């Protein structure tokens, strides 16, 4: 199985800050990487697919980049409604696997 390692596991930032989360794959996954946002008690929501493509309706302050084994997810200006846990997910190989998650809080 491909292991997905996210860092940090949690972070605290102020409203308006730029927030960056990284995701590292245990082997080359090309650009087969997605990002999800999960708010407490809710299902995950797709934000970014294929490493850098913004899902329809998702605010442009969210972005993704990277390829191969190293990927980055960025919130350009953190908003109060962005408080959530964020997960990366690879689909280069089955079984599909997720990172451990990054919990984002407001400072």
Partner 1 sequence: QVQLQESGPGLVKPSETLSLTCTVSGGSISSYYWSWIRQPPGKGLEWIGYIYSSGSTNYNPSLKSRVTMSVDRSKNQISLNMRSVTAADTAVYYCARDFGSGSYFDYWGQGTVVTVSS
> Are 38 and 84 a contacting pair, CB within 8 Å?
yes
Within 7-36, which residues bind partner 1 (CB under 8 A)?
Answer: 32, 34, 36
SS3 57: coil
* Residue 17: burial class (beta carbons within 10 Å; 0-12, 13-18, 19+): middle
Question: At its nearest, how many Å lie between partner 1 and the CB of residue 91?
Answer: 5
For Cα atoms 37, 73, 7, give the angle at the middle one, nearest 5 degrees.
90
- The reply to whether 83 sits near partner 1 by the rule CB under 8 A is no
Rounded to 5 degrees, what are φ and ψ at 88? Answer: -95, 160
Build a one-symbol-per-residue string for 36-75: x at contacts with partner 1 by CB under 8 A, - elsewhere.
x-----xxxxx--xx----x--------------------
Chain centre distance of CA 63: 9
Nearer to partner 1, 16 or 42 (CB): 42
Pick 17 or 91: Cβ nearer partner 1: 91
Q: Which residues bind partner 1 (CB under 8 A)?
A: 32, 34, 36, 42-46, 49-50, 55, 87, 89, 91, 94-101
């Amino acid at each position: 199985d491909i292991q997905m390692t996210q860092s940090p596991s949690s972070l605290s930032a102020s409203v308006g800050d730029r927030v960056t989360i990284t995701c590292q794959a245990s082997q080359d996954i090309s650009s087969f990487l997605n990002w999800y946002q999960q708010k407490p008690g809710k299902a995950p929501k797709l934000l970014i697919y294929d490493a850098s493509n913004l899902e329809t309706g998702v605010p442009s302050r969210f972005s993704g980049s990277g390829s191969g084994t190293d990927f980055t997810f960025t919130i350009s200006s953190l908003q109060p409604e962005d408080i959530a846990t964020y997960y990366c997910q690879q689909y280069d190989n089955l079984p599909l696997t997720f990172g451990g998650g990054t919990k984002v809080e407001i400072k």
